Structure 1
Amino acid sequence: MKAQTENKLKKAIFPSETVLISRDHARITQRATYAAVSVAVILVVIKLGAYLVTGSVAMLSALIDSALDVAASLINVFAVRTALTPADREHRFGHGKAEPLAGLGQAAFITGSALFLAVESIRLLWVPQPVENGALGIGVMGVSTMLTLALVYYQRGVIRKTGSLAISADSLHYTGDVLVNLGVIAAIGLSTLGGWTLADPLFALGIAAYILWTAWQIIFRSLDQLMDRELPEEKRAQITQLALSHPEVLDFHDLRTRAAGQNIFIQFHLGVDGQLSLYRAHRIGKEVEAKVLNIFPQAEIIIHQDPIDKDKEDSLG
């Protein structure tokens, strides 16, 4: 009898590990991180060769960006692996906040690259240098653009399925890379074919500004999760509508939501007829929970049932 009581107490304090993220989502997310690292390494190699041949500062900007992409994507690999770790005794809400922390790390790398590029571009505005072997540089950037577009397309499919902030941040700066690559192509073309030597540093300066703007976007999105910001209003309205659609739910209030990586946490109060049995009130809560999970499968939901005197309400109505 004593052993049974101790087991019940242990389960109450340390419930069995909750897997907040499905295995399918975990596998998809991890594959996306490996794909990003692979593409970034390939881009560094071909851009390094192109920079050595052309001497273009715009090409250098693309090379620096891709080199930092490797570092940022490697951070993502470890962050996603940590975020996908199931909840344990020390982390009852899981490890999802590893993703926004990785986002801040990515933003730091991206900001550093943008500032370095801006300084280098300003220097070359005063002492412009001609770009050599422009056709080769344009060809390399064309290949880079196609590889990056393919990666972004793949990442967006993963984001639609998982909602991963880490992959979203990765995709955001790779989308910026597409614009970077197009800017480099334009800069090299104007410099070599049009003879406008200032095009190279001017385009590089514009690219630096865009990269910096991308970094700020990642910072704000990461801070939103770290500060437990509520889900967007349209999602909160959807949760409210789902709960009130149950015919036996009389009231809905105190909705609280937050996100941590791919994990979503939702809690609210349901008003039910106070004359119902505890079992029936519990069943209503489970039925509402199933409705919400159908739309938000990654959510962990806590529902509190409040008794309402339905006869009194009817007489007042």
Structure 2
Amino acid sequence: NIVSAGMLVLALAIAARPPDPSHPYGHGKIEFLSAGIEGTAILFAALVIGVESIHELIAGPVIHDLDVGLALLAASAAANAILGVYLTRTGERTRSEALRADGRHVLADVWTSVGVIGGLFVVRLTGWIWADPWIAITVAVHVAWEGFRLLVDSLRGLMDEADGRLIESTVATLEDARESSWIDIHSLRGWRSGARRHIDFHMTVPRYFNVDQIHAIHDRVELALLDGDEHGGDVVVHFDPCDETECHHCAMSDCAIRSHPFELRQPFTIESATRPDPTAHGHPATRIDLSSAPAD
């Protein structure tokens, strides 16, 4: 626990550093690494509990008189439960993977203590001494599952897995702030580096808009998505020009190039916002033919 606490403090200190030229996306990934180490430590603890329990099943359990020790264990379990819940909730509120991981580590200790207390209580109540190692094995399985989940979550973060909650909130925010010139969004991607959010997507706008108008839209989109976020983040919008097939759901009232009347504005949804750009990666205009290039 002392090593884990020290690692937590170090990870939070590094993650809090602002982006710099060497780390343009910030230092938040250190939190996922810290969480992975915590998950590994929890798995190791589960392994030790399981091995000791199996050893007791083979050799026969030995129950000692631990009245004072049990009282201290119960008190520490209660304190750890409060601390674990606090760390976990604070991690959720601040989007800190390191705090969440440390909270789950502390709660794993609580489950271990509860298993010890429960096992000895059942033995004292029933006289069946085999209850202690069997309860310990049950606790080991639960602790191992928590460690495995934590390790998987950390690997997902390190591998930049899409953040479903971030994508959902982004789509909802863009729909609430939507302007008539925001005809469509697609190719939406969202991921986190620690507490910092990174969002990029394509937005279709009227093709006659100039650079000043498009730049102003980008500023308003960025403000809508990041306003009030103390952790900051990045928003990158790739603007696509509209074509006549989109006139049916374009709500621009003063469009001079409209070829079809407006019928119904299509809402931004997760399905439509995350669909890929059909012109990306393989559009004929973007391919480079090297077959006729001169030899060096």
For normalisation by structure 1, the TM-score amounts to 0.71
CA contact (8 A) 2:111 2:143 kept: no
Gaps of 5+ in 1: 1-68
Query: Partners of 1:169 and 1:291 in 2: how far apart?
Result: 30
Report the Cα offset of residue 229 of structure 1. Answer: 0.6
Total equivalences in the alignment: 248
2:38 to 93, 101, 106: 106
Q: Secondary structure at the match of 2:81?
A: helix
Q: State the alpha-carbon separation in 1 of the partners of residues 109 and 86 from structure 2.
A: 15
* Structure 1 segments (4+ residues) deviating >6 Å: none
Matches within 5 A, 1:284-299: 284-294=217-227, 298=231, 299=233
- 1:207 corresponding residue in structure 2: 139
| In structure 2, distance between residues paired with 1:174 and 1:218 | 13
**Are the aligned partners of 1:131 and 1:192 in contact in 2 as well (CA < 8 Å)?**
no
- For structure 2, the residue ranges without an aligned partner over 5 or more in a row are 248-254, 262-296
| Secondary structure of residue in 1 paired with 2:259 | helix
Find the counterpart in structure 2 of residue 274 from structure 1: 207
**What residue number does 2:260 align with?**
316
Q: TM-score, normalised by structure 2?
A: 0.76
1:303 aligns with 2:247: no
Q: CA deviation at 1:193?
A: 4.3
Q: Output the CA distance in 2 between the equivalents of 1:89 and 1:235.
A: 26
Kindly indicate whether the alpha-carbon contact (under 8 Å) linking 2:163 and 2:192 is maintained by their aligned counterparts in 1. yes
User: 1:144 & 1:129 partners in 2: Cα distance?
Assistant: 24
Q: Is residue 242–residue 288 contact of structure 1 (8 Å, CA) maintained in 2?
A: no
Secondary structure in structure 1 of the residue aligned to 2:18? coil
The residue that corresponds to 2:286 in the other structure is: none
Alignment of structure 1 residues 132-281 onto 2, 5 Å = 132-232=64-164, 234-244=165-175, 245-247=177-179, 248-281=181-214
Indicate yes or no: 2:14 matched with 1:82: yes
Alignment partners' CA distance in 1, 2:57 and 2:12: 41
Deviation at residue 175 of structure 1 after TM alignment: 2.4
Over aligned residue pairs, what C-alpha RMSD do you find? 2.2
Mark the structure with the bigger radius of gyration. 2
Q: Kindly indicate which of the two structures has a greater share of residues assigned to helix.
A: 1
CA distance in 2, matches of 1:256, 1:129: 54
Percentage of identical aligned residues: 27
Contact 1:258/1:265 (<8 A) preserved: yes
